[in-house]
Amino acid sequence: MDRAQLADFLRTRREALQPEDVGLPRGTRRRAAGLRREEVALLCGMSVDYWSRLEQGRGPQPSDQMLTAVARGLRLTLAERDHLFRLAGHAAPERVGRGEHVAPGLMRVLDRLHDTPAQVMTDLGETLVQNDAAVALLGDASALTGLDRVSVYRWFTDLDARRVYPEDDHDLRGRVFVAELRTALARQGAGSRAEQVVDALLGRSPEFARVWAEHEVGLVHGPVKRLVHPELGVLTLECQKLLDVEQSQVLLVFTATPGSPDDERLRLLAALGRQRIGV
């Protein structure tokens, strides 16, 4: 671990970012070059003290998980992310077909969607990052670990995961999840994380085994979704997708027809999201 170079790299990347680059308000009386330390700490999900010690060259060696959060919070490119890992004494993550590093361009789009639910997911259905409105609508899925991160795994192992959809839609949604998993398995191949999910579900869920045996392919979630919110009821929303081909990731954006009752509910949802994080 090269503490001096790591500290210098973190400081220069922080100073190169402006609040507008990461979806934060500029505010008044801003004297710092670039982002403040407390702003970066918030973006990276760590304490200000931890960040300050890293930037001063006196912090502990960050874990892989912490470095991933830092790379995402600082909107690093893949080359910058690899450099960050090496300075911290870790091997750079392999650049395989799927990855958890969200490209800066995709993050910039997400940063600008303050009042619109949006989140970035892998092709296997793992939520990488959500804005506050998406957390208010769908729950905090980015904090999950292990196989619980995969939406199809949760669907067949945790019935609470189905509450986001009306019960009438459960059969179709389950079949679509399974068809998407089959597509991911064909793309990723033997020994992949997709195969790990399939094997785990076959051992745990007779329902999954039954649907899997039907070998359906080509089913997709349509652009219109009905979602259930515990406080606002059923919302009928359009789900637009922006695909990052290189990373096999997709940005999902949920919108409603302007002036419709669902549009009004989305506005309430954004307010609920801000209240829960104390904004």
How would you write the pLDDT of the chain (279 residues) with one tens digit per residue? 888 888 888 888 888 888 888 878 777 677 767 888 888 898 888 899 999 999 888 888 888 888 988 988 888 887 788 888 888 888 877 655 456 778 888 888 898 887 899 999 988 889 999 988 899 899 888 778 899 999 999 999 998 999 999 999 999 999 999 999 988 888 887 888 899 999 999 999 999 999 999 898 788 888 899 999 988 899 999 999 998 877 778 999 999 999 999 999 988 887 765 554 343
56: its two tokens: 């001063």
Cα–Cα distance for residue pair 90/75, rounded to 1 Å = 19
Residues 58 and 149 in one domain: no
Q: How many domains does the chain have?
A: 2
Q: What CA–CA distances, in Å, run from 259 to 133, 134, 192, 271?
A: 18, 20, 45, 17
- Of 26, 53, 87, which residue sits at a domain end? 87
CATH number, domain at 209?
Answer: 3.30.450.180
39 assigned to some structural domain: yes
Do 78 and 119 belong to one domain? no
CATH number of the domain bearing residue 19? 1.10.260.40
| Structural domain for 28, as ranges | 3-87
Q: Are 138 and 164 in contact (CB under 8 A)?
A: yes
Same domain, 74 and 108: no
| Same domain as 128, residue 83 | no
Query: Count H helices, E strands: the chain?
Result: 12, 5
Query: What are the backbone dihedrals phi and psi of residue 36, each rounded to the nearest 5 degrees, phi first?
Result: -75, 160
Residue 92 lies in a domain: no
* Domain match, 22 and 112 both: no
Q: Does residue 225 share a domain with residue 153?
A: yes
* Boundary of a domain, candidates 87, 118, 152: 87
Query: 70 with 206, same domain?
Result: no
